Chains A and B, each alone.
Chain A
Amino acid sequence: MAKSIGVSFSMGASEGGLDADKNTGELENTYILRPIFQQRFRPSVVKGCIHAVLKEELENAEYSPEEMPQLTKRLSETIKDKLKELGYDRYKMVVQVVIGEQRGEGVFMAARCFWDADTDNYTHDIFMNDTLFCVVAAFGCFYY
């Protein structure tokens, strides 16, 4: 028996950031269309960060249906905060945490994003132990 969780996540990143040219009107706005190289969302770094958090938090965790909602929230908050510390200034971070019980069922999770593939990226990390699996997907969307 296979259970599939389809997570379809679409996001249009739009944020009124700089409106310096408001009054001039005729002039074209100068938007920052690409992140600074150093601040570019790097999946590997983010993955490492997530992994560290997961390892710390879930090392001895066991699945219990009552605790999981809080755990997912806590994890997502923790990871989000950690990612913010990494200094992706113009990124909007979306962290999704899914925890499921390991009972031998098949699980398939997929994500699809409507975004600018040049600037936005995502990474995910999976933590598994005997009783649960935890999938963390972190999406970074660039603020233009």
Chain B
Amino acid sequence: MEPGKKRTKDDTWKADDLRRQLWAVQSGHPREDKKLREKKLHKESEVASLEYREHRSKDPDRDVRRRERVAERDPQTSMENPHGERDHEKHRERRKDVKYREKDKLKERHREQDPEKSHSRGKDKEKEKEKDRKVRKEELKQTTAYHNLLVREGRGRQLLERAEKKVRAASKARTEEKERRDEDSERGDEERERRYRERKLQYGDNKENPLSYWLYKEDERKHRKPRETDQEKRYQEKSSTREKREKHSKEKGNSFSDKEGEERHRIKRHKEGFHLEEGRRSHRDKKERSSKEEHKKREQKEIEKEDTDLETAGADDYSASFEDDFEDYEDDFEVCDGDDDSNNEPDSQGKTEELPLAQKREIQEIQKAINAENERVGELSSKMFQKQGRMEYEQEPQADANTSPSRTPVCGIFVDFATASHRQKSRSQAIKQKTRSTKLLRLIDLDFSFTFSVLDLPPVNEYDMYIRNFGKKNTKQAYVQYNEDSVDRDIQTEDIETREVWTQHPGESAIVSGGNEERDFSDATVVPRIDTPRLSSFLRAACQVIAVLLEEDRLAAGPSWNPHCQDSTLSISDSSSQLNTSLPFLQNRKVSCLHASRVQRHTVVSVHDLPEKRFSQSLDSRHLLCVWDIWQPSGPQKVLICESKVTCCCFSPFKAFLLFAGTVHGSVVVWDLREDSRIHQYVRLSDCFWTFRTPTFSTDGILTSVNHRSPLQAIESVSTSVYKKQSFVLSPFSTEEEMAGLSFHIASLDNGGVLNVWVVVELPKADISGSMSDLGLLPGGRIKLVHSAVIRLDDSLSHKGTEFWGSPQTLSVKFLPSDPNHFVVGTDIGLISHGTRQDWKVSPKLFKPQQHGIRPVKVNVIDFSPFGEPIFLAGCSDGSIRLHQLTCERPLVQWDSSTNGRAVISLQWSPTRPALFLVQDESSSIYIWDLLENDLAPVAKQPICPDRDAHPGGLKTLLETVDS
């Protein structure tokens, strides 16, 4: 601030002193000083005041603070000055900009005023403390009275001060600014007075509650803080911190001494006033107390020392704020320090040296007084302080000091000590930490490490939240997929049902609409599988049965035929029936031949000659054959037509489905009765369709080299049973039945002595368009005959030496049932030739009648016994019947006159009774022979009169029918 201050303390003081002296001369301060001198040790006080003034000039704010603190401690007395000061400050702040130039002058003015104020304040302090103590002692009893007194005192003092100030103001009055300043101060005084009163009232009550009082003080201190910034500025203005330190210590010392000076003044005044005795006592007290308190103080001092050390160590790093704190702290302890500095502190040697001896003496006196006072107060009010809190307890010695009005300021300062010590401690800690941190920060690197993401909770959408909460309510959401793999929508949809429906607007018929529903229905109905062969076979059998039944019904209904038949057949048979040959196409036809199947005995074929009357042009020139079932006599089963006259016929041996016939033209024809009727010609006759079957195969015109050249006399089937070894060679048929049915040969004999053997071949496939190779085969037919062998019999017959009679005619042929290789052939010379198919030598070669010599007797019929006996019957045209044994030339028995000379035309062994046979003669008489009963004559004779019937050919009674 001032350049002088850089020099030694002495110099600065001298400079200040000089300046102050100058001011004093000008403003009348000397008077005040003189007064003070008069009252008490003039020199010391002057020095103290000088110092104090200097201190003030350096740090006016601190003065203010001090003053305020005083005021706080005893508002009654000390309010004027702080208020004044505050007012001043306020004014200053207001006018800061304007008066910035005059700053120095203002400060000088401060310097002027401050000493006065401090003096007055010093007095105030004393009074204040005094009052405090009194209040505490006397408690509420004296409060009001004492207040009045105090007021009076305060007023008195104020008057004095005002007077002084007025005098001063009058004496000054040099510059306008100064005048204004004085007016302000005067005004400030008045204001102070007023506020003081108010506050007194306020805190007079509050004194009862020391805690609240203390709180108030704390508030005050806080208010003070802002002012410290000013202080700070000022410090910064100082040239160096070192100087600052020195000044601080100086200031401390000065201020303390100053204070002591003030105390002294106060003491003086008190002595002058009403507390002289007390003053002395307090002197003693003070001494005692100081000795006590010094102990405490020293501890603090040590801390202070540390602080200063630290300050020196880390002086560069001190921050302004820290300095402030430190200053603050010093302020709090200024009194203590003052004591220490002045009396005991060896560190502040410079100060002590500078302190005059008189001052020391005075300090000691004050200390004594304080000690004495402490003692006294301790005795009086020990009880009262026990009630108070910790803070108060620490302040106990101060309270003791309060008993003496002259010691009040000391005690007030000590109230802050405990907190201050705390603060000091924390501050020292802070300093330590700060140094530590500064040092450490050089060693370590602090950095913002990357940001840690502590929690990242993404917002949950509404549905998830719902689901999260949904599951907690004892409910559950289920996801169902009936077909786990098929999540697509298209797959999940069911098939669309469709239905076709149609309609037609102008309906053509009754049905105008429809749909496929019916079709579906019809589709649904399964077409029954028809086993066609089985059905046809069934139908065939059933038809037959039904037809038979119908036939029987008709026979029973129409008995017209029966009487005739019964009459005619009663003798030899149970019943007989007449085949209906009255059909239109059979009328007028002579039955030339009749043949029954050996196996299917109910099947009969009748051969009809050309009609005698014209019936139909298509049929008149043709010969007819009718296949009958004797159970159905009303009509033929099948009607066959043949171009030439049929002389003989026979059925296939095992099953009568083939019919073989021989013609007068020497041809062999075959009818396959299984053939479909559609491939044959049919004629509608009298509302009935008749199918006229043409031969399936005919040997006419083919095989001319081997074929017969003369009319056929006999045709015989050769059983396969005897041809087992050969049969399968020729048979192309697959089925057993077919093979069995076709494993036979056909032997045909013409009257020229030629015996042909034919093989029946069934073609595997019918050719409807005809065959180029198989001539003679009906288109669509499957049966043909293949020539197998030819046996010429005329040689064997002729070599007999019967040249006389010419070449004999062969009339019939029969194969031995037990050995088909052997056959016998009847001739027209009464001889029967015995031959084999393999030209084996057989004996006898000829079977002769009993009569020797060759006679022109025709052997018409030959029949082997069906029971395996090698015997056969032969019927001759002369009416004789011969029974031959195969091994014997001559017959076993010969019946010559059984028929009365009539030629035997037919002869038949009974198939069931071995000794029974039937014979028919040319007069249509039937003779029944039973050899067991009568071997000489027939047992029965039944003449059949054909003339009775209208049929020209008449009927031949079948032996089989008779037998059964």
Contact = CB atoms under 8 A, between A and B. Distances in A.
A107 B440 contact: no
A14 B434 CA distance: 8
A113 B472 contact: no
A144 B457 contact: no
Contacts of B455: 98, 107-109, 124, 126, 133, 135
Nearest to B306: A22
B432 interface: yes
A124 B452 contact: yes
Contact of A106 (B440, B451, B459): B459
Interface string A105-131: 111111111111110001010100010
Contacts of A118: 444
B612 interface: no
Nearest to A120: B449
Contacts of B451: 110-112
Contact of A19 (B432, B434, B448, B449): B432
Contact of A114 (B437, B448, B472): B448
B494 to A, nearest CB: 40
Interface string A1-43: 1100001001010111101000001000101010000000000
B436 A14 contact: yes
Interface in B448-501: 448-449, 451-462, 464-465, 468, 472
B459 A112 contact: no
Nearest to A19: B432
B429 interface: yes
Interface in B335-358: none
Contacts of B440: 14, 31, 33, 144
Contacts of B435: 16
B454 A137 contact: yes
Contacts of B465: 103-104
Contacts of A144: 436, 440, 443-444
A31 B468 CA distance: 55
Interface in B384-435: 429, 432-435
A135 B455 CA distance: 7
Given A33-B444, A104-B460, A25 B313 contact: yes
B445 interface: yes
Contact of A29 (B439, B457, B464, B472): B439
A117 B446 CA distance: 7
Nearest to B438: A14
Given A14-B433, A110-B454, A104 B448 contact: no
Nearest to B462: A104
Interface string A48-88: 00000000000000000000000000000000000000000
Given A124-B454, A135-B454, A2 B459 contact: yes
Best-surrounded residue of B446, B455, B468 (most CB of chain A within 10 A): B455
B447 interface: yes
A114 B445 CA distance: 10
A105 to B, nearest CB: 6
A120 B437 CA distance: 16
B446 A115 contact: yes
Contacts of B433: 14-16
Best-surrounded residue of A12, A17, A104, A126 (most CB of chain B within 10 A): A104
B453 A115 contact: no
Q: How large is the interface on A (under 10, 10 to 19, 20 to 34, 35 or more residues)?
A: 35 or more
A16 B433 CA distance: 5
B313 to A, nearest CB: 6
A135 B445 CA distance: 29
A17 B449 CA distance: 25
Contact of A112 (B436, B448, B464): B448
Given A16-B432, A106-B458, A112 B452 contact: yes
Contact of B447 (A110, A114, A133, A137): A114
A8 to B, nearest CB: 9
A94 B458 CA distance: 27
A17 B468 contact: no
Given A114-B446, A115-B446, A115-B449, A108 B439 contact: no
Nearest to B466: A104
Best-surrounded residue of B432, B440, B464, B472 (most CB of chain A within 10 A): B440
A37 B10 CA distance: 61
Contacts of A115: 446-447, 449
Nearest to A10: B448
Nearest to B428: A16
Best-surrounded residue of B446, B451, B461 (most CB of chain A within 10 A): B446
A37 B440 CA distance: 20
A143 B691 CA distance: 136
B460 A113 contact: no
A130 B454 contact: no
Contact of A109 (B439, B453, B462): B453
A113 B448 contact: yes
A46 B452 CA distance: 16
Given A33-B443, A114-B448, A116-B445, A1 B454 contact: no
A68 to B, nearest CB: 16
A141 to B, nearest CB: 10
A108 B444 contact: no
A135 to B, nearest CB: 5
A116 B445 CA distance: 6
Contacts of A111: 451-452, 454
A16 B429 contact: yes
Best-surrounded residue of B445, B452, B454 (most CB of chain A within 10 A): B454
A124 B964 CA distance: 125
A75 B55 CA distance: 57
Nearest to A113: B449
B582 to A, nearest CB: 116
A31 B438 CA distance: 12
A109 B454 contact: yes
B855 to A, nearest CB: 141
A116 B452 contact: no
Nearest to B445: A116
Contacts of B472: 130
B456 A108 contact: yes
Contacts of A117: 447, 449
Contact of A17 (B436, B457, B460): B436
A109 B454 CA distance: 5
Nearest to B465: A104
Nearest to B435: A16
A72 to B, nearest CB: 14
A109 B458 CA distance: 11
Nearest to A112: B451
A105 B460 CA distance: 6
Contacts of A2: 459
Contacts of A116: 444-447
Contacts of A109: 453-456
A15 B434 CA distance: 8
A107 B457 contact: yes
Nearest to A103: B465
A1 B459 contact: yes
Contact of B443 (A25, A31, A122): A31
A31 B472 CA distance: 58
Best-surrounded residue of A107, A118, A122 (most CB of chain B within 10 A): A107
B102 to A, nearest CB: 46
A113 B455 CA distance: 16
Contacts of B454: 7, 109-111, 124, 126, 135, 137
17 contacts: A1-B459, A14-B440, A31-B443, A33-B443, A104-B461, A107-B456, A108-B456, A110-B451, A110-B454, A112-B449, A114-B448, A116-B447, A117-B447, A126-B454, A130-B468, A135-B455, A144-B444
Report the 7 A-B pairs with minimum CB-CB distance, sorted nearest first: A106-B459, A14-B437, A16-B432, A109-B455, A104-B460, A107-B457, A109-B454
Given A31-B440, A110-B452, A124-B452, 20 more contacts: A1-B459, A14-B433, A14-B436, A16-B429, A16-B432, A17-B436, A19-B432, A19-B436, A104-B465, A107-B456, A109-B456, A110-B453, A111-B451, A111-B452, A112-B448, A112-B451, A115-B449, A117-B447, A135-B454, A144-B440
